[in-house]
Structure 1
Amino acid sequence: MASDPHTPFAPTPGENHTFGYGAPRSDGPWEEWNPTEESVPAPRNGRHRVAKQRGGGLARSSTVLGVGVIAAVGAGGMASANTGKPPVSIALPDLPGVDSLLDQGAETPAPSLAAVGTASAQSEESADAGEALRSRIIAQAEQQQSRADIRATAAAVAAADQQTADAAAQAAKEAAAKAAASKEKAEADAKKKAESARLAALAKQYTLPTSSYTITGTFGQPGAMWSSGYHTGLDFAAPTGTLIKAIHGGTVTQAGWAGAYGYRTVLTLDDGTELWFCHQSSIGVTVGQKVATGDVIGRVGATGNVTGPHLHLEVHPGGQATGIDPTTWLRGKGLNP
């Protein structure tokens, strides 16, 4: 503001002013100070410089600013009151209002109790929210872990159940296979036993055609001596005159000379199978005669196309022209030539 042209008032002694003449001091009495034109620096451009704080701004403390103004005014008053010298004009700079200085340079005001309480509450709420969030995260993690454990347990139980089921199925399969094998073996044994019994019964019904013999020729044996190119029967070599017996009961359908077969007897069984007895030295039956198993029907000889005495036996099922292996047929009747 503009400098005041009036003379400052002289403070009354004894008044209790913060700054003034006679004011009590803790550090001793006031000393007299009489400013003169020489002792007071001349103003520059009609204004006093105002010190700036570090950082370029005006002094932010309103208390210091007020103390400086009051001291300057009091000093001027004392100088004009206690001396006969003319008053000295003190030029003060035009300063903005204290409120504006406070507004411009004031530091950040301290928060009120309400603000502190609100901030504290907000901080507590934030802490509570953070704790709640942490709790939810932990709970979710525990739930996820629990679900994972449940799934793992369920998978392990399922795997164990599957393993048990597989083992049971495998055991059942093996038991079934074992039972089937046992059953098959039992059936085979029973069949074999039945066949043995049947053959034993047949053996009583069938017999070999001669005794004291040696097998010298088998069915299918190749050779140029046979017109078919192979041997068509089974040869029982025996001395001439050895008895020839009926293998099974039947009817004599042929008895006489048969070319390369020599003297031959054909015995037809009840199922139509023809048995040919060839190369006999003599025939002991006639056509139409019925014979039983073991009846003598002739004797071993060497008639026809032969190299020595023997019985040549052929088997013709159903009377067919082509014969079958007599060995197989005899074994089927329980006989082992």
Structure 2
Amino acid sequence: MASNRPAPEAPFVPTQRETETGGHGDFRTGDGVFEGPSSGPFDGPFTGASDGPFEEWNPTADSLRPVRGRHRVAKQRGGLARSSTVLGVGVIAAVGAGGMASAQTGKAPVSISLPDLPNVGSLISDDEEGDRAAEATAAPLSTVGVATAEGEQGTTAGEALRARIMAQAEQQQDQVASKAAAQAAAAAAKKAAADAAEAEKAAAAKAAAAKKKAAAQAAKKAEAARLAALAEQYALPTSSYTLTSTFGQAGPYWSSGYHTGLDFAAPTGTLIKAVHSGTITEAGWAGAYGYRTILTLDDGTEIWYCHMSSISVSVGQKVSTGDIIGRVGATGNVTGAHLHMEVHPDGADSGVDPLAWLRGKGLTP
């Protein structure tokens, strides 16, 4: 530990024996041996009588002159706190150089070296002269664990730890990147599969729609072909006509309260044709219907021709499509010349709409 230089030694103090004898006696200056009346030889160099006699001297604070200058001890103010602060700064610097690495790796603690610091007194001197003197005569405060090899070993351990941490960080980053890439690939594959499924579903729906449309077109074509074939087998009941009253039309003119057939208005004498091949099952007067002819088709459907002016066939006669069976007239309950036609499937009393029935046979009235 640092210390101030020693103060000058105090003047020589005679022993009690020498005091009792008064300290007087002969002495030889040749060999420096003092002989007194009641004492033996006393070793000590003397140059003459000016060095004695001596009295007992007890130094006090008043008798000692304070040492000035370089050897003066400066008044300390908070020396412990300041020295602790300086020491703490040194310790922190040493720890930053590699101490923490050894502590984290679990190895033996690394010795720390502190630089030589000025003595505490010089740091807190009362005057600038004392501070300069203290700085000039500064002595090392302390040295803690000077070990260069171990310090280098701690630095190497810290670098190794840092390298290992960086390697682990890079490995973790690589793992995170790999995981993110795998997740992205999985998401892309999932999206691609979903898109493919959606596209397949859309294609299937489109194909189904196309198939349905094609089937509808095919059915329409087939129906058109069937109707065309039927049209060759069926014919309209007359020509040069105008449709007036339709099936189901209400009015006071009909006893049932509504119209039960379809009216083809045409001049009297206009030819009436068989709509399809069949057999004449009735021909004659029918009251409000006037002259009426009933044609029964091969499937049992009855076609009624009413208000005829003349009948050209007889009961039981076979006719074919387009054969003449009579002429348009105004007989029975009528307001003008026209053909009243009714359709009764299977000979039923109630009929169906003749217009729809004719269209179902491929005809357009």
Structure 1 position 43 matched with structure 2 position 71: no
2:247 matched to which residue of 1? 219
SS of equivalent residue, structure 1 residue 217: coil
> Which structure's relative contact order is higher, taking Cα pairs within 8 Å and 6+ residues apart?
1
Taking a change above 3 Å as real, the CA distance of residues 125 and 300 of structure 1, as seen in their structure-2 partners, is: same
CA distance in 2: counterparts of 1:207 and 1:11, whole angstroms: 185
1:143 matched to which residue of 2? 171
Structure 1 position 279 matched with structure 2 position 295: no
Structure 1 position 258 matched with structure 2 position 258: no
* Per-residue CA distance 1:107-163 (angstroms, 9 max, x = gap): 98867xxx644xx34433432332233223212221221122112212222232233
The structural deviation recorded for 1:55 is: 8.3
The structural deviation recorded for 1:243 is: 1.5
Taking a change above 3 Å as real, the CA distance of residues 236 and 144 of structure 1, as seen in their structure-2 partners, is: same
Q: Which runs of 5+ in 2 are unaligned?
A: 1-12, 24-28, 33-43, 76-139
CA distance in 2: counterparts of 1:33 and 1:237, whole angstroms: 188
CA distance in 2: counterparts of 1:139 and 1:263, whole angstroms: 115
Structure 1 position 189 matched with structure 2 position 204: no
Taking a change above 3 Å as real, the CA distance of residues 186 and 32 of structure 1, as seen in their structure-2 partners, is: farther
- 1:89-100 equivalent positions in 2, closer than 5 A: none
Q: Which runs of 5+ in 1 are unaligned?
A: 14-19, 22-30, 57-106
Structure 1 position 237 matched with structure 2 position 265: yes
1:94 matched to which residue of 2? none
Taking a change above 3 Å as real, the CA distance of residues 219 and 124 of structure 1, as seen in their structure-2 partners, is: same
CA distance in 2: counterparts of 1:141 and 1:199, whole angstroms: 84
Equivalent pairs, count? 264
* Per-residue CA distance 1:1-37 (angstroms, 9 max, x = gap): xx89599xx9989xxxxxx97xxxxxxxxx9996334
SS of equivalent residue, structure 1 residue 157: helix
- 1:71-220 equivalent positions in 2, closer than 5 A: 116-117=146-147, 120-220=148-248
**Counterpart code for 2:257:** G
CA distance in 2: counterparts of 1:152 and 1:11, whole angstroms: 106
1:307 matched to which residue of 2? 335
Structure 1 position 333 matched with structure 2 position 365: no
**Percent identity over the alignment?**
61
Taking a change above 3 Å as real, the CA distance of residues 146 and 109 of structure 1, as seen in their structure-2 partners, is: closer
CA distance in 1: counterparts of 2:336 and 2:214, whole angstroms: 49
> TM-score with structure 2 length normalisation?
0.62
The structural deviation recorded for 1:320 is: 2.1
CA distance in 1: counterparts of 2:348 and 2:318, whole angstroms: 21
Runs of 4+ off more than 6 Å = 10-13, 107-111
CA distance in 2: counterparts of 1:110 and 1:186, whole angstroms: 103
SS of equivalent residue, structure 2 residue 342: strand
Taking a change above 3 Å as real, the CA distance of residues 253 and 127 of structure 1, as seen in their structure-2 partners, is: same
Taking a change above 3 Å as real, the CA distance of residues 33 and 199 of structure 1, as seen in their structure-2 partners, is: farther
> TM-score with structure 1 length normalisation?
0.66
Aligned-CA RMSD value? 3.7
* Per-residue CA distance 1:33-72 (angstroms, 9 max, x = gap): 963346x771259xx99x998489xxxxxxxxxxxxxxxx
**Counterpart code for 2:57:** A
Taking a change above 3 Å as real, the CA distance of residues 109 and 186 of structure 1, as seen in their structure-2 partners, is: closer
1:319 matched to which residue of 2? 347
